[in-house]
Chains A and B, each alone.
Chain A
């Protein structure tokens, strides 16, 4: 249903998209053959900004006027001096090489012999030239010809490769993606030396012109999957794309679902592992968050550490995580259900002591839980926003308020505090932050159900959640695979993590072209 909606939405937008493309684009115009006119063109188009570098000079012993144009800060100025300007001056002026008279020949001479830069191209269109200059190229204009040379001289300041903040591990590589797309591809290439690794380049955002790469390994990844991802990205019609979250929200299957339908990570090891499984990664310039598609609920419950540690450890941690997921969603609702509707289900001694602690509490269990869980959410949000040194204070204040003061004031019962603590800790144990948020949202739904129908309501809410999950897809792949549809092969790496020698196949659900990742039989 959602996909139909998705297709419909795109169909409607196609024609206005074309119109708007023409409006916001630079006039499709050829460059002039005069340097002065060209410079004027660039100046007016860009609004003559103060970071526009223009250097005009006469070439060699001829009287041909030339100019270089670049944006200050986007280009590596040392490289510009030594490799471009320096080379032109040295080779043509001092070496007294004869400079041809024809402007086109000068251009070819510069292009073929003088400039010692790897990435270099000729261009005649104004729009393309401006695009390149804005993304860090240097333009070289020669008087008398409408062709210009574009030299790749990108070199801006970027953050160093650091340890990923949002996904810390005890064991595993320490490097994380940065905001620089090139660094990120390097981090992946260093892990994937397969010649079949593909980075399909696309540009998103009509005004921001952000570069986007669709990464996959050809002859592992299902071609249909790659095609579908590219098709969906091509439908993106926005002015600017700041973060991969924009992409995620544009291409997801169901925008009403609380569950994330793609994984995002700043860990290159996670991305390369996903690529080798036959998944697709989307890298976006300007953000360290890389998207992995398609995902399943099972995948989101995995952490790379499961594979780095021995299989027993990996398996037990996963079991623990599934338990945590259950607690994160259902512990407050079970508390409400048991205390309000079925005190008979609790052993009598415990039931009495709970009743005794709830004696002075003026609110029903539901109100009590909503109060405490909301406070917990507030603390979590506040702790996130505050600078690190103050963040700790919030922890202490929150701990005191939740833990002690609320109980002494008689607002909540001590058992409630235990439930809230259990819930909060459990939701932190979920490896994917966006999945943990989904669980936090469903928690309220389950609490309402429990407040109305007790344990019956909790089971109904569980059924409703499972119905939703069963209908959910990620790029057309069932979200609950391999639970349902059942794929027995994939169960080896689901709740349990079988010893590495057992993990011989790629996930069945991805329809990988090369399904086998280990040929232990051959090596014997």
Chain B
């Protein structure tokens, strides 16, 4: 090896780069060189570097990264899965709202023409949206197709089913007092054997929905906290394994913001990737469920289509999981860096 003093002496002669530090130089050690645009560019480069180097770090230790992201994405997919199931059930009850109708079962002695007249007169009522008359024959035919007792019914000599008038009031669920009055009016009319409001069980269903919605919110809150803690713990371990680097950076004048930056980006990546993976998990699950659910819906004569994540919901899911990743990391960094010596 060449003696270094000789080398630097020759360097000195060629290029006196290491000039005597002036006042300005010492000032420049605290305030970065260059104009504002240069500084802005340097700052942007720092962020870009932190963004990609933190991703590189995740890729460099695939086992740890996969474990963490697997746990996080399962938690996130549970939460978002609940959300989606509820959204689907809600769609079901929304369909039911329109069927919150009043069924008038007419007395046996009422003839079909009389029933038609009655239906017409009900139609005149301004608070009624639509009226549908189901004759004895129609009712029987419907019963044959949907009940599964088709062959048994052919044995019957007479048609036991009454004529039914289905009345759909205008504001179905909002105005329950008006509905009650309407129902009482129908019950008092001589042709009607019984008038039934189909709303009662819809109300029950809706309160069940409200309970499950509340439960799902609580559950999602817990899962969100779990994501926060898992992300935080991952960053804590990362901070521990890079402790020496943190200390060196501090000793050459790094601020807390500088030290935090790559870790916050790691938190972001963990959250972001877990969000994307969770989206895939839930979507695949829904795809697996789609066929049987649609079969089931077909058996009930319904026209039910499974809801998937929309574009906005997908963005929301990924944004929330990324934010949780960053927040979890931030909380841990705030605590840990305060307690890392030297200051």
- Pairing of A with B: no
